[in-house]
Amino acid sequence: MHAADLATARHLLRPRRVVVTHLAEAETLIDHLMLPGAGVNLYKEPDEPNVVTWGVPGEPAGWSNQSQCASFITAVLRRAHPSWARSRYFARHFDSISPFARDYQRVFAAGGTRRFRPVARVADLRPGDLIAIDYANAQETNTGHVVMVRRMHGVYVAPNPRLNFEGEIQYAVQVADCTAEPHGLAGVGNYEDFPDTRIVGEQQSQGVGYGHMMFYASELTGEFTRYRWSVNSGSAGVFGVEERPVSAARVIAG
């Protein structure tokens, strides 16, 4: 399939929805980096610089990514909302011009800002919302994970009853993110229904892409209770919010 045809096919497969500027910018970058001849798409090491480049549409060689989960999100926000998403804004509200996942989670949990409105209920998440996880590991890097919601797939009931919890509702969420570990294992369980673009056959790649995560909510309050990295994650890969806090926010553009 030619590059133009591939891009068209991906566009047609996209769910119809209201355009969210920062999600559109993230998708445009990711889509170009999946085309033949695209630039590098890497999950960077801590001592490497963040480099996220939007090139000329239709010319994949000029697009590239070398970032981590949080720095990718920050780069997308800077591009989509240049009037406010600047170094001064992030330094003021996140104590860093390039926040880590832990910083995003902390600010969301504390009530957000005028530009980041907390979303308490998992069922209320919309495309473009951000979900941040704090691994609570006291590390200077790899502090957690932050993703952008691309699509809500709705309620999911796992075939394995140990992955369903009494008093909780599980949701399958398609996300756009940057990671060194794609979400899932090809050919295992229900992976084909909730795939990751960085997994092709037996080959896995890193960097930005689309994947699926599973988030749980309290039946009583609707708030986050736990999460799984992918539909394949077993009971050992389920983390409660008391162990790894999870918070979400909606980006207010105007």
pLDDT digits (tens, 9 = 90+) for 64-76: 999 999 999 999 9
- Nearest to residue 31, comparing CAs of 204, 176, 191? 176
> What percentage of the chain has pLDDT greater than the value 70?
93
Please provide residue 226's backbone torsions phi and psi, each rounded to the nearest 5 degrees. -170, 175
More confident residue, 2 or 120: 120
Distance CA 52, CA 68 (A): 10
Residues comprising the chain, all counted = 254
Average pLDDT over residues 161-179: 98
State the average pLDDT for the chain. Answer: 94
Average pLDDT over residues 124-147: 97
Domain ranges within the chain, ordered by starting residue: 3-251
pLDDT for the residue numbered 254: 74
Handedness of CA 246, 146, 87, 125 (dihedral sign): negative
The structure tokens listed for 136 are 């609570």
C-beta atoms surrounding 131 within 10 Å = 27
The yes-or-no verdict on residue 10 having pLDDT over 70 is no
Q: Where are the alpha helices (DSSP H) in the chain?
A: 3-13, 21-33, 69-80, 87-94, 101-109
Average pLDDT over residues 105-128: 98
The yes-or-no verdict on residue 9 having pLDDT over 60 is no
Q: Alpha-carbon Rg of the chain, whole angstroms?
A: 17
Contact status, residue 122 vs residue 222, Cβ threshold 8 Å: yes
Q: Tell me if the pTM is above 0.75.
A: yes
Helix (H) / strand (E) containing 177: strand 168-179
The yes-or-no verdict on residue 7 having pLDDT over 90 is no
For residue 122, what pLDDT band results from cuts at 50, 70 and 90? very high
pLDDT in tens, 28-61: 999 999 999 999 999 999 999 999 999 999 999 9
